[in-house]
Amino acid sequence: MLIGTVPFGFVAGVAAITAGMTPLQGIALSVLSFSGIAQLIASQLIAVDSPVIVTVAAAFVVSLRFLMYSAALSPHIAHLPRKWRTLLSYVMTDQSFAAAIRHFSAPGERRHRHWHFLGAALTLYVTWQAAVAFGVLAGASVPSAWSLDFAVVLCFIALLVPAVKSRADLAAAIVAAVVALVAAGLPYRLSLVVASIAGIAAGMAIEMKREASK
């Protein structure tokens, strides 16, 4: 997944600068939030001078998936001290979560697994911050013919494909995509919020129907 991380981080760095942030702000956003999606959404909204509350709300919606990751991960690391759990939450990403769940669910010796998670997450952290820093330095001088922003869309597709495991997941994805297209004209990227909620509702509807028919 590091292959996707480098262009994604680079684009996130470029996006911060083209949104009008200073290099220090671009790097601070990345170091503190460590979330490519949140960084990109925040950059897009800061670029159009959105009110702070709108920017934070959009970051909240795109980061809701962390709630699910957090719930799935918590039984595996509940035995660790709070300091460890805080550190692991801070460095958790889509990629490290996916790897960690596979790793924690595997049979065998359990005692040192959190070290493995931390190692993988920190590798990703360092790679990500370096890529963002390069993007911040390159700023707006990247030729648009490279279409590097498309690498970001592909990163989302790379997260979408494995997330669709059932018919209900597929319904959630299709409804969210259609609503996002229809609502694309809404200001402040509200389409994202509306589409996400519609998709989750569609997934729930299919799931409840399936339960009822059992």
Partner 1 sequence: MTVWIAIVGVSLVTFLLRASFVVFADPHRFPHRFRQALVFVPPAVMAAIAIPGLLLLHGHLDLTLANPRWIAGALAMAVGIWLRKPVAIIVSGMCALWFLQWLLG
Q: In whole angstroms, how far apart are CA 81 and each of 41, 97, 99, 210?
A: 33, 19, 22, 40
Tokens of 94: 């889509």
β strands within 84-153, DSSP E: none
Does the protein bind partner 1 through residue 153 (CB under 8 A)?
Answer: yes
Smaller CB distance to partner 1: residue 106 or 166?
Answer: 166
Exactly one of 17, 120, 136, 172 binds partner 1 (CB under 8 A); that residue is: 172
Binding residues for partner 1 restricted to 92-131, rule: CB under 8 A: 92
Question: Minimal CA–CA distance to 27: which of 41, 8, 12?
Answer: 12
Exactly one of 99, 164, 186, 190 binds partner 1 (CB under 8 A); that residue is: 164
DSSP state letter for 188? G
DSSP H or E run through 208: helix 190-212
Contacts with partner 1 by CB under 8 A: the residue count is 89
Binding residues for partner 1 restricted to 63-82, rule: CB under 8 A: 63-71, 73-75, 77, 82
- Provide, rounded to whole angstroms, the least separation between the CB of residue 111 and partner 1: 19
Exactly one of 109, 112, 143, 161 binds partner 1 (CB under 8 A); that residue is: 161
Binding residues for partner 1 restricted to 16-45, rule: CB under 8 A: 20-21, 25, 28-29, 32-35, 37-39, 42, 45
Dihedral angle sign, alpha carbons of residues 164, 167, 171, 177: positive
